[in-house]
Structure 1
């Protein structure tokens, strides 16, 4: 229950006297220890991405994506050309610093500067990126950009409610589950119930600390090895 009241003794939300609309995200490069994010450019990234996605044993990774799967490299390139032209979603390619190759994409979308709300979506990571420090760092870099650079108040993650890997990934990264919107959309000829997750600015300091600690070299002494999990680090910071 809110502790704030108006002159009619009605409960109201907390005042934000100095709030102003946030800037829109820009096409810039974000640098990390394991990866960097570059604005998607089909001429630079599409061939790498098509090859990286082709390494998957099947096409199940596209089941819950709005686009795809793609039959060949040329069809994927055509999609990438179109995706790269938009500002919402604003697509980024994930570049693996160890290889210099583009190995996945993700986007900032449903951008609402007036209310300081932004969503990460269109997450498509190839086998070369999945379950690596770079995959976590890619998400961390966009969160940092949204909260620390642009000053957004709310950072959302939405997915098909049946997409168990996506739901698990959101929780691992520190998003809080907020509920399911039933029959929210229709895509690929089927109905979608949408699961909503979010991190708000009050959550962000603890989420940021846990992610930074997890990504630190002393926590990842060797490929595929972690000394402390993200969940353990968040629990420790909350204690």
Structure 2
């Protein structure tokens, strides 16, 4: 690793003489092989999303979310109306290209254009979306947008330290674990230690190739079983 020093002989970070602030993300539509991301709309997506979430047998998918399980469709529609078209977070609906129905949401958030940092969060995937090619592709589409198209330097993932599935998902997707912020948040009447993960711009080209190899149709058997895991593609 190259060591940089200033005029006093002190170690400093790598110079970025051409760095400029990045653009704020836009509410665009992103289309992949298996899913499409659209700006969340309570009117267009709300009823489909509530129906998708209602397929879960209980409310455990909301344990580590800031929202609570929704008691009825009207409650979810009110929630979706509140968060749609927000500036930060910016929520997107995940559309299954086979059924053309919304099956989950995720959001870009904690957007810092000055330093080129952005977080993926509010990941609410229904049983129709979890552990599918669509789920991986949805993350890939937003990573590509932030790191490649917009030129952000840092793409973050944060979760409750107790949320083991989220921690495993971050590692599978190529995020690097950075540490735990103790007693970082109080939510739902309890304390939260927050685990931090990130992908930086220099890691993106290799990760992009791995995603594209994994998402390729020939990586799956006729029954949809993957031939090679995403981690193996890296």
Normalised-by-shorter TM-score class:
over 0.9
In structure 1, the gaps of 5 or more residues are: 235-239
Counting matched residue pairs gives 234
Partner of 1:206: 206
Partner of 1:71: 71
Q: Which moved more, 1:125-134 or 1:216-225?
A: 216-225
- Moved beyond 4 Å, runs of 4+: none
Partner of 1:96: 96
Determine if the alignment matches structure 1 residue 27 to structure 2 residue 19. Answer: no
TM-score by length of 2: 0.98
- Displacement of 1:69: 1.1
Partner of 1:82: 82
Partner of 2:218: 218
CA distance in 2 between counterparts of 1:135 and 1:117 reads 23
Q: Deviations over 1:137-184 (max 9, x none)?
A: 000000000011100000000000000000000000000000000000
Q: Which moved more, 1:119-128 or 1:214-223?
A: 214-223
- Matched-pair contact (CA < 8 Å) for 1:132–1:224: no
CA distance in 1 between counterparts of 2:141 and 2:223 reads 20
CA distance in 1 between counterparts of 2:27 and 2:85 reads 11
- Displacement of 1:85: 3.3
Partner of 1:130: 130
Q: SS of the residue aligned with 2:233?
A: helix
In structure 2, the gaps of 5 or more residues are: none
TM-score by length of 1: 0.96
- Matched-pair contact (CA < 8 Å) for 2:39–2:85: no
| Structure 1 segment 10-25 matched on structure 2, within 5 A | 10-25=10-25
Q: Which moved more, 1:38-47 or 1:204-213?
A: 204-213
CA distance in 2 between counterparts of 1:6 and 1:172 reads 38
